[in-house]
Amino acid sequence: MKVSIRKDGSALSHALDNWHAVDWQRVERNVRGMQIRIAKASQEGKWRRVKALQRMLTRTLSAKLWAVRRVTQNQGKRTAGVDRELWDTPESRWLAVGRLKRRGYRPLPLRRVFIPKANGKMRPLGIPTMLDRAMQALYLLALEPVAETTSDPNSYGFRKNRSTADAMAQIFLSTSKKVSAAWILEADIKGCFDHINHGWLESHVLMDKAILRKWLNAGLIYKGQLQATEAGTPQGGIISPTLANVTLNGLERELAEHLGAKFGLAKAKKLKVNVVRYADDFVITGTSQEVLETEVRPWIEAFLAVRGLQLSEEKTRIVHIDHGFDFLGWHFRKYQGTLLIKPGKKNAQAFYRKVVEVISGNKTVKQEELIRLLNPMLRGWAQYHRPVVAKATYSRMEYLIFQRLWRWSKRRHPQKNRDWIRKKYFHSVGARNWVFAAPVVKDDGSKGLLELYQITGTPIQRHKKVKGAYNPFDPQWEQYGEQLRQARLEQSMSYRREWVTLYMSQGGLCALCGTELTEETGWHDHHLEYRMHGGSDALSNRVLLHPHCHQQVHNLNVVVTKPVLQ
């Protein structure tokens, strides 16, 4: 992998050719094959073999290529670490592959930044360098199969094909019936990522201990000062969510074993203690307040204490289902015995504040630009709440946003009357009046309207929960995982039916490299015959590509053909 750079630049040209010549389908197949072997060894409890396979995987060229590709095509690719280095060219990416070596590796300190939380507080993030991110992605390839195999069945955060909607659906299953548990322990771990005990991680995380120790002790730089990291795994690192999950794995299984050993399996089952966890937030059901207070909570506190963690006193409480509780932006409550899940008031208020900030901060932009800023926000929020009872909240939110947009419109033309402003900024579309829309010229040259996304037009769809035993690295679950992944991505693209058609026609794979199109990788709509050359917008002239592959097509004039499913 060592590339010498000659004065005539031929080595860089060679690097460019090499990066674009990578057979990504083969790379993915090689990596996945090794991960399946690691998962199988984990299931069989052959931990020495697991370590040997992990070591083998992290030394392969395929894994290094995949790691570099991941960190250069995700959302953080434009955010540099303390060295201010970005791998934004094919040459730099290819050369980076050769730098992913265990021997002599020494991570740089993290760059500390703060981002606002929904409650107004600031969340600390640690930004690693590109090299450290790629090394974390490389070792994560080897750790993930172990973490998935040993995870609790009802843990849903930061795991493949699992989401907040799955956690919501599991709570519904645990609380919706008349005979379901009526008491809820709503728990939150105080500063989970910042307080995990380093000694516990080094003893229990099945990965290269030396590399893990270097990451944990790398320190961070804030306002020019180097600070030691004596505990925790910083939010911002690619591997951090998986390390947090490994830390909390066993919460569900070991609690069930503890209750079974103390009360017997039959009585323990009657207590109806069910754990549903998403990252460091979790809820536990029980038949009575006493069970949760005297049996469950003390055990949870002891379980966390070993790992250097503790429950947040201000956010942890025990409530009756008839009084309701909030979890992951939803409000769960029974009304006369019927469980209804609605968007939480705090979640709706926080979203509305964000919308107001965008409208207030863009008082002078064109209407078209404001709509393009708002549409992704409105669509994302509405689709998040699509699986729950959200119609009333949708209507209220749409009315509030309309009021803000009306004020935005009037402010721009203080001398004009109401009717003039309405005709300029609001239109009738079908049976709908007062639609905030801007006249635009379409790609084919015709005139049309760019409409503000209609929140109330989002259909309510019941979410189909992932099976608790699903393991993405077990070949037995291969077909189920493929169907689940396609169904989830279809839903995320449902507002663009044409994209769904393209996605299905390609079998969910990129038309160039042949690897999976996921929400993490993203996708671009590519015209086989460019529109400037007379190509049409017909589906027969379009394919979906990864953003990275799309860039490759245009930079190197690569010819893409319409894929044919076998």
Instruction: Give the domain 475-556 fold.
Output: DNA Binding (I), subunit A (1.10.30)
What pLDDT is stored for residue 126 in this prediction? 85
Report how far residue 449's alpha carbon sits from residue 436's, in angstroms, rounded to the nearest whole number: 10
Please write the tens of the pLDDT for every residue from 150-169: 999 999 999 999 999 999 99
* Helices 391-412 & 418-425 angle (0-180, nearest 10): 120
Q: What are phi and psi of 69, to 5 degrees?
A: -60, -40
| Residue-level pLDDT, tens digit, the chain, 566 residues | 333 333 333 444 455 457 888 888 899 999 999 999 999 999 999 999 999 999 999 999 999 999 999 999 877 778 888 888 999 888 999 999 999 999 999 999 999 888 777 666 777 788 899 999 999 999 999 999 999 999 999 999 999 999 999 999 999 999 999 999 999 999 989 988 889 999 999 999 999 999 999 999 999 888 888 888 888 887 778 999 999 999 999 999 999 999 999 999 999 999 999 999 999 999 999 999 999 999 999 999 999 999 999 999 888 999 999 999 999 999 999 999 999 999 999 999 999 999 999 999 999 999 999 999 999 999 999 999 999 999 999 999 999 999 999 999 999 999 999 999 999 999 999 889 999 999 988 766 678 899 999 999 999 999 999 999 999 999 999 999 988 887 887 777 665 677 788 888 888 889 888 888 887 788 888 888 876 666 777 888 889 998 888 888 877 778 888 876 65
Distance CA 382, CA 96 (A): 40
CA atoms within 13 A on the CB side of 171: 32
Largest CA distance in the chain: 79
* Structure-token pair, residue 541: 């002239």
353-373 pLDDT tens trace: 999 999 999 999 999 999 999
pLDDT score for 228: 86
Sorted by where each begins, the domain ranges of the chain are 17-150+209-230, 151-197+232-339, 345-457, 475-556
Question: What tokens appear for 165 in the block?
Answer: 């909607």
- Dist CA 382 CA 371 (whole Å): 16
Residue 501 makes CB contacts below 8 A (sequence gap 6+) with 539
The reply to whether 475-556 shares the fold of 151-197+232-339 is no
Contact 165, 257 (CB under 8 A): no
Query: What pLDDT score was predicted for residue 226?
Result: 86
Q: What is the dihedral of CA 389, 394, 395, 401, to 10 degrees?
A: 160
**Spatial separation of the C-alpha atoms in residues 210 and 58, rounded to whole Å:** 14
Secondary structure letter of residue 465 according to DSSP? P
Question: Cα separation of 272 and 65, whole Å?
Answer: 47
pLDDT at 441: 81
CA distance 362 to 341: 34
CA distance 507 to 334: 41
Q: For residue 358, which of 383, 381, 337 has the smallest C-alpha distance? A: 381
121 and 222 in contact (C-beta within 8 Å)? no
Taking CA atoms, 351 is separated from 63, 332, 400, in Å, by 39, 19, 12
Host H or E run for residue 334: strand 330-335
- CATH homologous superfamily of 151-197+232-339 equals Reverse transcriptase/Diguanylate cyclase domain (3.30.70.270)
Residues 6+ apart with CB under 8 A from 114: 122, 123, 124, 125
Grouping H, G, I as helix, E, B as strand and the rest as coil, residue 447 is strand
Q: Please name the residues in contact with 477: beta carbons below 8 A apart, sequence gap of 6 or more.
A: 470, 471
Which parts of 260-303 are beta strand (E)?
274-278, 281-286
pLDDT at 445: 67
The pLDDT value given to residue 288 = 96
**Beta-ladder partners of 524:** 545
Q: What pLDDT is attached to residue 553?
A: 84
E-strand ranges in 480-545 read 524-527, 542-545
Task: Tell me the C-alpha to C-alpha distance, in Å, between residue 73 and each of 7, 29, 63.
Answer: 30, 19, 16
Q: What is the spatial distance between Cα 237 and Cα 110, in angstroms, rounded to a whole number? A: 9
Q: Which of 372, 389, 377, 325 is nearest to 352 (CA)?
A: 377
CB atoms within 10 A of CB 284: 25
Looking at 58-177, which runs of residues are DSSP E strands?
110-116, 122-127
Q: In what order do the strands lie in the sheet with 317-320?
A: 274-278, 281-286, 183-188, 317-320
Whole-angstrom distance, CA of residue 494 vs CA of residue 490: 6
pTM of the model: 0.87
User: Token digits for 153?
Assistant: 């069945």
Q: Which uninterrupted H or E stretch holds 432?
A: strand 432-441
pLDDT at 241: 94
